Structure 1
Amino acid sequence: MGLIGLIGLMGNMGQMGYILWNPSLSFGPFRWYSLCWLIGLMLAYFVVKRLYKEQKIKDELFDPLFFYCFIGILLGARLGHCIFYQPDYFLTSGKGLVEMFLPIHFLADGGWKFTGYEGLASHGGTLGLIIALWLYVKHTKLSIWRVLDNIAIATGTTACFIRLGNLMNSEIIGKVTDVPWAFIFERVDMMPRHPGQLYEAIAYAILFGLMWWLHKKMPQKIGTGWFFGFCLFYIFTFRFFIEYTKEIQEAFEASLPLDMGQILSIPFIVIGLVCMFRKQKTYL
């Protein structure tokens, strides 16, 4: 059963064939969003571990990698959302600054509640990951290009499951449409909308399959930065165009010629192209 079929079975078919979407936010004691993040990171962990083994990189050099990646992605994604999408809230008060770093929300009566991190941005997560990997190679003395290429090969797995988590949360919804596969996000409204999260999840699953095939065909390019560049170019080019099917996330974006997701994608597309077409040399 394909990914679309699996997701379709989890909803109910509404009028005109649209999918009525209102799944539970939790699976037992776990929130779907957190569970999808965990699955995505663990899959990437095993993929990169396999790559390190293929390249005969010592186990002790692999062991700290997951810690660096987890902290870098989470911190970068959180700061990216707060700074790029809601600076008027998080950067203008002491309570906002605290909520930026702690998964809580202050209540009007002076109390607070645990909310988890409500707002993570993929562009910030990518930047945070790159910084974390730079710190990792400073510690391990491995080539930054080899590490970036290995992470890039595994990236599609994590990106796919993060977007599935967004789908389960009925967030980052698409624009109203009449396509026959439209989703009606019942927690949002009763309008048929593009399942933009599902489009991205499928694209990133394809990316992983493509990257795994390419690394088998072109093992000599691992360590040149080519895989890292291709990963950035693929993800953020797709992200740029898929934004045309998605609703803006914050009101201020309505006055911009491009939405924030598109604006932030452009530098990553350029960096990807530079990494792919620069004069390449393998750094062991």
Structure 2
Amino acid sequence: MSPLHWNVDPELLHIGGFALRWYGLLFAAAFLVGYEIMRRVFRAEGKPEADLDALLLYMMLGTVIGARLGHTLIYAPDYYLAHPWKILAVWEGGLASHGGAVGIFIALWWYARKRPDQPWLWLLDRLSIPTALGGAFIRLGNLFNSEILGHPASVPWAVVFERVDSLPRHPVMVYEALAYLAIFILLRVLYRRRLAATPPGMLLGTFLLTVFGARFVLEFFKEEQADWVAGSLTVGQWLSVPMVMAGLILLLRARRHA
């Protein structure tokens, strides 16, 4: 069976000096769908919907700044420390999920300081649901960009990314997108069972354990993204380990609370 060939233009629309890329469209869609999910959460639990605009802004800033700094300072520090102005060039690509997670944690802590009715862990729990779905959207954006490639493979579903080379490869970004979609469904089901009575930390713990557990496993099929090596594991795997451990701790804590 011949492999599937992928050669889709990453630009959906180009007018003059303006280019609308699939990645940007999917990135924006992740926030818009997430906004709607959180609007339903706020309505179900009696929280002020007027706070959603501020919450969206904090989430966007935390995600973009954290993910960009994570990519530039963890995956390619030599290049970006030699060209620091390139750190701001988000449009050139390069966002790291681990940095994005840390950025979200910090941004939501800042947001929750003046909102005692929306504690930090309460927010992180519920935002885990749209964040998992957003991860699926972003990985589809990586597919359109022909980036985050898998190792060469001979499996029947291998894909040749013609914009990169002629080798059949694992479509690892599709693997991740499907994993994150399944995690989104799981979190949604867990939340709807108890709504406001959901034990604190249960959703966030499940998110960290499953998302970064999947990331750890899928790194074995993925080309190394970092400019440096970290022993027998990839940089992404080393960064996933503390996230998985934090998820386990939160789940044990939530179980005791329940």
The question of whether the paired residues in 2 share the 8 Å contact of 1:221 and 1:227 is answered with: no
Instruction: Select the residue among 234, 240, 252 that pairs with 2:210.
Output: 234
Q: Does structure 1 residue 97 correspond to structure 2 residue 97?
A: no
The question of whether the paired residues in 2 share the 8 Å contact of 1:80 and 1:123 is answered with: yes
| Cross-structure match for 1:131 | 106
Aligned letter for 1:136? Y
| Cross-structure match for 1:48 | 38
| Cross-structure match for 1:212 | 188
Note the alpha carbon deviations across 1:240-274, whole angstroms, 9 max, x for none.
00000111113422x62100110000010011111
5 Å-filtered alignment, 1:1-284, equals 16-28=1-13, 29-91=19-81, 93=82, 96-103=83-90, 116-141=91-116, 142-219=118-195, 221-222=197-198, 224-253=200-229, 256-278=231-253, 281=257
The question of whether the paired residues in 2 share the 8 Å contact of 1:52 and 1:58 is answered with: yes
**Could you say what the CA RMSD is over the residues aligned between the two structures, in angstroms?**
1.6
Aligned equivalents of 1:117, 1:47: Cα separation in 2? 30
Aligned equivalents of 2:140, 2:235: Cα separation in 1? 21
The question of whether the paired residues in 1 share the 8 Å contact of 2:34 and 2:130 is answered with: yes
SS in 1 for 2:5: strand
Aligned equivalents of 1:223, 1:73: Cα separation in 2? 25
The question of whether the paired residues in 1 share the 8 Å contact of 2:75 and 2:227 is answered with: no
Aligned equivalents of 1:251, 1:47: Cα separation in 2? 37
**Alpha-carbon shift at residue 63 of structure 1 (Å):** 2.6
What's the TM-score, normalizing by structure 1? 0.84
Aligned letter for 1:190? S
The question of whether the paired residues in 2 share the 8 Å contact of 1:146 and 1:224 is answered with: yes
The question of whether the paired residues in 2 share the 8 Å contact of 1:229 and 1:272 is answered with: yes
In percent, how many aligned pairs have the same letter? 37
Aligned equivalents of 2:50, 2:70: Cα separation in 1? 31
SS in 1 for 2:228: helix
Residues 181 and 118 (structure 1 numbering): CA distance in 2 closer, same or farther, change over 3 Å? same
Single out whichever of 183-192 and 26-35 deviates more from structure 2: 26-35
Aligned equivalents of 1:221, 1:237: Cα separation in 2? 26
The question of whether the paired residues in 2 share the 8 Å contact of 1:78 and 1:117 is answered with: no
SS in 2 for 1:30: strand
**Alpha-carbon shift at residue 73 of structure 1 (Å):** 0.3
Note the alpha carbon deviations across 1:40-94, whole angstroms, 9 max, x for none.
1111111111111111101223231000000000000000001111111112x3x
Unaligned runs of at least 5 residues, structure 1: 1-15, 104-115
| Cross-structure match for 2:16 | none
Residues 209 and 146 (structure 1 numbering): CA distance in 2 closer, same or farther, change over 3 Å? same
Aligned equivalents of 2:136, 2:178: Cα separation in 1? 7
Aligned equivalents of 1:63, 1:20: Cα separation in 2? 41
**Alpha-carbon shift at residue 18 of structure 1 (Å):** 1.1
SS in 2 for 1:27: strand
Note the alpha carbon deviations across 1:95-140, whole angstroms, 9 max, x for none.
x22211244xxxxxxxxxxxx1421101000110111010110132
Unaligned runs of at least 5 residues, structure 2: 14-18
The question of whether the paired residues in 1 share the 8 Å contact of 2:125 and 2:204 is answered with: yes
Aligned letter for 2:184? F
